[in-house]
Each structure stands twice: as structure tokens, then as C-alpha cells.
Amino acid sequence: MGVVDYLFAPRRDHQGWSTPSEAARIYFLLVILSSGLWAWPVTEGNILLWFGLSTLVSTPLLTLGWWIISLISQRYEPRVLVDSLNRIDRSKRKSIHSFRKP
């Protein structure tokens, strides 16, 4: 398993739903931190303006970046979110609707 495979492989949670890849999670942190650091001196420490400007700048950056990451991630086989999901005995798992009374 290479670093690129680890970063861009889509993740599946315990219910089989798709979750963001590691690259998307890292990209989120980088964009939020960098836009926040950039906006602080521009807004001269005004919290409300800082929050608004950070949101305004980070939204299109996140949208574009996540779209590019999703295009790259299509080449990789999905992986489980955590390794312990490989050890679940799915034959004993009951549906959430099986606990309802008729």
C-alpha cells in the first residue's frame, strides 16, 4: 500500500456508507487553517468579520478541492475506515428493523 493509495482511497464505514478519503480530511484542515490565518490580519481582529471572510474564502476552495480529490479517488479501490471493521461477523448482524414489534 503506497502513500497515494492510502490518501486517495475512499473509505467505507461500518454500514458501508462512503466517507471522505484521508486526502479530503487533510485538505479540509489545511484550507480552514490557512483561510483563517489569512483572514485574521485582514479583518483586524474582528471576530464576526473574520468568521464570515474565512467562510466566504474557504467554501469555494473546499468545493473545488474536494471535486478534484473525488476525481482522483475514482481510480482507487475503497478501503474500510478502521481495520477492526474487517473482523466483524456480518452473519450475526441484525437489521435495525428486526427489533420492532409486529
Number of domains, the chain = 1
The domain of 37 spans: 8-82
Q: Supply the pLDDT for residue 46.
A: 96
Is residue 43 in a domain?
yes
Is residue 95 in a domain?
no
Residues of the chain where predicted confidence (pLDDT) is lower than 70: 1, 14-16, 81-102
Q: Record the pTM.
A: 0.73
Is residue 2 in a domain?
no
Is residue 42 in a domain?
yes
What sign for the dihedral angle of Cα 9, 74, 12, 84? negative
Is residue 3 in a domain?
no
- For 51-73, how does the pLDDT look when each residue is reduced to its tens digit (9 = 90+)? 999 999 999 999 999 999 999 98
Is residue 35 in a domain?
yes
